[in-house]
Every structure is written in C-alpha cells, then in structure tokens.
Amino acid sequence: MKVIVTSLFFFFSVYTYAQDLKPFNEKGLIGFKDKSGNVVVSPKYDDVQSFSEGLARVRLNESIGYINTKGHEIIPLKYCGGGKFQNGVALVYNFGLKHGIIDKNGNVIVSLKYSQLDELSEGVRAFKRDGKTGLMDQDGKELFTASHQHISNLVNGLSLILKNDKYGFIDKTGKEIIPPTFTQVTYFLGTNAFVEQYGKVCMIDRNGKILKTLKYDKLGFNGKNFLNVKFNGKTGRLNASGKEIIPPVYDGILRVNEKLQAPFLLNGKRGLINIDGKILIPAEYDELSFFEEGTVQASLDGKYFILDTLGNQVSPHKYQKIGYERQGLYQMATEGKYGFLNKEGKEVIAPKYQFVRDFYQGMACVKLNDLWGFIDKMERVVIPIKYTFLTGMIDGHAKMRVGEKWGIIDNKGNVVIQPKYSEIGFFSEGRVAVKIDGKWGFMDRNEKLVIPNLYNKAEEFYDGVAEVILGDQEIKIDKNGKKVENPVDNI
C-alpha cells in the first residue's frame, strides 16, 4: 500500500507541476515558465502545445516531437504532426501524411500506415487505409473494415458513415443500424439526430424513426450540443432537443472555437456570437476570423487588425494584410512595407522590408533596398542581404541570382553552386539541373557536372529517376545519366 500511495503522490506531483508550466513567447520563439515566472524550458521552439500526461508537443523547423517538464526531448522531433498524449499514447503522422500511434517512450504501437486515424472516442478509433474504412480498439486491433466513403468516430454509441453519397449509422461492430438514405445528417446529440429529407429538417431516434419534422429546410454545422439550421436562406441554431436558441435571422454562422464562439454574417458584415446567441462583437467588419486564443483578426475599409473577443482593439488598425501563422509568426504589411506579428498581435519585426517570405527552419527571406537575404526571428541577418533575388529554402538550399546569373546557397549562406548559370533547379537527391549553353545537365553538391548538358528540358530526381527531353524524345534517366527503360514505382 505504501508503494501505491508513493507512486500516486509522484504521479499527481508531476501532473500538477506540468499544469503549472505556461508557454511564453520571446522574439517569436516559445518556451515554458513555471508559476513563479522562472524559465524551465528555454524559448527555442516555433510552436508548443500544453502539457498532457507529463509531455508537451513542440515544433521546430516543421518537425514535431515531445518534451518532458524538464525540457528534455523524450521523443525526437521527426514527425510532421501529432496530438496530445491520452491514456499513455498519442497520434502522430509522418511527412507522407500516414498516421499511427506512439507510446510515451516513442515506441510505435500502431504502424504509420493509415490515411485517417482519429482520436480515441468511446473506446475506439475510426480509420481509413488502402481505400477501406473501419474502427479499431484502443490497443490498435482493427474490429472490422468496410468500403464506406467516410466513417466517423463513435458518438453516443453510433458511427456516422457515407456510402454511395448517402449518410447512415453503424454500431462499433460495423452492423448497420440506420441505412444510408439521408442527404445530410448530424451526429447523435444524445438520443436524437437530425437529418435532411425531402427538403426538410427532421429529428430521428436511434432506430431511424422520424420523431418530428421541423420548419427548417437545411442543416448546417453541428457541435456536441447544438446544430445550425437554415430557414428561407437565413441561419439560426438549435439545441440537442431541437429547441431554437438562435433565431434564423443571420446570413451565416460559422464554426465555433473552443469557447463556443463563432463569427456570424449579417448584411454583408461580420461579428462574433456565442453559443446562446449573445452578440460579443457587432456585425461591423468586412472580415472577421479567429487569430489566436482570445483574439480575432478583423478588417474594415481595407485595413486589417487584431481584436479581443470583446471587440477591444489589440493591434493598430493599419495593416494591408495579415498572413497565416508560420513557426509562431505572422506576415503583415502596412504602407507597402512588410514585417511580422507574434501570436499576441504585437509587432516583433517592424514593417520595413519591401517583401518577406514566411519563416521556415527559423529563417525568413526578406527584400530590403532591392536586395535579398535571410533574417532569423530576432531579426539578425543570417544570410547577407546582397543578392539580386533569392527563393525560399527547400531542403536546406535556396536559389540565388546575382545580376542575371543563377546559383545556389545553403542555409548557412555558403555558396554551393556559383552564380554563373542562365537557369537552375533545386537540389533533389543530391542532383541539381543546370542550363549551360542552352542545354540542361545535372551537377552534384561539389558543382561537378555529373550528367552532361544534353537535354532540352530536365525535371528533378524522384526515387532515383528524372524525366528529361533529349531531342524530341521524352525519356527517363538514372543519377548517372543512364537511360531507364522501365522504372519501378516505389509504392
């Protein structure tokens, strides 16, 4: 008993400590502080997730992994994406967008072979692989497979399926409970679901029996306890029992956030409304969408800015654009100059550049005084701003132009291919296509011409093969320049 009590005390101590760690942002990089404000994990990640079961997902240079409460990387940063740990496991997916499951030591317990793999719900997960759908148990055992177009997780004991463009429901064994005959449906919200049939919204029971026909003509987005409906082209909202909680007077109500708030449309303007229909931000804005937790991005008269969810202005009303989040920062532009905002809507890189590209691998390509270079998130110049033109980094390399000639640099600024070619491609599998005297050939990373410039056109290498045009004939060659008669696809 003493061992059990000690173990439980240790578990809850770790859990409580993890809950006390909060992310903080410093010049676009994120770390964690404890409740006293002490830095526990230094700010070095592009994005982080809150701790769950003692581990937090972190992202750096487009890859994710997991750290513990001491900042140690327990699971290396090698996946494209992943979720929180629940019941000792987490969903992850690779850069081929194949999903699987790992444990807290990083061991793969469900192979990364699924094109769809949902979070655990009521003891099962929905999956899709090789054109088949099904459900698996919490240990990764497939319970059944079927040929549905789509399958959802269990919600209140039933899984929604799409078959022959019609919706129905099955149970966890795959048994058909309600045949797929409806053009649109909601999940079961308790004992009832809502369906579209013959141009009307109806409420059905768990056997598919229509309990009542409502006045509304179309279904919209639904959550766990509500659904949007349309009546004569206007949108409103019902609760799980079919009671109207927002009358159908709006031109649209969009998806809700975690706080059950949603942008709404009225007379060509947008505002913010809560689950009960209370207007949080009046419909006064040309555009309005969620920015980060507790804030929204709005536009008025062609200028963008950030508001909190009560409508208070967080950033200046001056930006020509605010881009999407990339590695914790957002592109913005004002008066023709570009810079970056952080997740709080604060300017961390002032708008002084003629153009910027999104951050990738901790660097952003910028244009200043008609020349191009790279900066990091602290706005330190990491590759001199001296080139006539630069592309973004791909696989650690960027194409650069000096005058009218092209070459390649790496992510340290080292010149890999001198700028003396009329055209050039990107490195792929250790080869780069270059155009010399009007013909294309291939160089290696030592700028050695390993495949002669014989071709009218040359594509990048993929799985050891490149497509080229020799004379008027399209052929495939290997990395030594030899013709490949029947390349084998790498499935």
Note whether 278 and 261 are within 8 A (CB): no
Note whether 201 and 230 are within 8 A (CB): no
Note whether 202 and 219 are within 8 A (CB): no
- The closest alpha carbon to 268, from 281, 287, 243, belongs to 287
Task: Assign a CATH topology to domain 388-491.
Answer: Lipocalin (2.40.128)
Predicted confidence at residue 487, as pLDDT, reads 52
| Strand blocks (E) in 314-431 | 321-326, 329-334, 337-341, 347-353, 355-356, 363-368, 371-376, 381-387, 389-390, 397-402, 405-410, 415-421, 423-424
- For the record, the structure tokens of 441 come out as 């050939």
State the first-to-last Cα distance of the chain, in angstroms, to the nearest integer. Answer: 54
- For the record, the structure tokens of 35 come out as 């409740």
- For the record, the structure tokens of 88 come out as 């000792």
Residues of the chain with pLDDT under 70: 1-19, 27-28, 486-491
Q: Which residue has the tokens 């009832």?
A: 192
Note whether 162 and 179 are within 8 A (CB): no
* C-alpha distances in Å from residue 387, one per residue of 121, 372, 472: 53, 5, 36
Pairing between strand 363-368 and 355-356?
antiparallel
- For the record, the structure tokens of 274 come out as 């809560």
Which DSSP state fits 216? -
- For the record, the structure tokens of 149 come out as 């177009």
Predicted confidence at residue 167, as pLDDT, reads 94
| Domain parsing of the chain, residue ranges | 1-81, 254-318, 388-491
**SS3 (DSSP) at 202:** strand
| Strand blocks (E) in 403-472 | 405-410, 415-421, 423-424, 432-436, 439-443, 449-455, 457-458, 466-470
Q: Is 419 left (phi over 0), alpha (psi -120 to 50) or beta?
A: beta
* pLDDT tens digits, one per residue of 306-342: 998 889 988 889 999 898 888 788 899 999 999 999 8
Phi, psi of 403 (to 5 degrees): 65, -120
* pLDDT tens digits, one per residue of 340-384: 998 888 899 999 999 999 988 789 999 999 999 999 999 999 999
Q: Which residues, in sequence order, are bridge partners of residue 15? A: none
Predicted confidence at residue 17, as pLDDT, reads 53
Calpha distance 107→431 (Å, rounded): 34
Question: How deeply is 159 buried, as exposed, middle or buried, from its count of CB atoms within 10 A (0-12, 13-18, 19+)?
Answer: buried
Calpha distance 475→459 (Å, rounded): 11
- The closest alpha carbon to 186, from 169, 170, 171, belongs to 169
Count other C-beta atoms under 10 Å from residue 269's C-beta: 16
Q: List, as one string, the DSSP characters of 270-294.
A: EEEEETTS-EEEEEEESEEEE-STT
Predicted confidence at residue 326, as pLDDT, reads 80
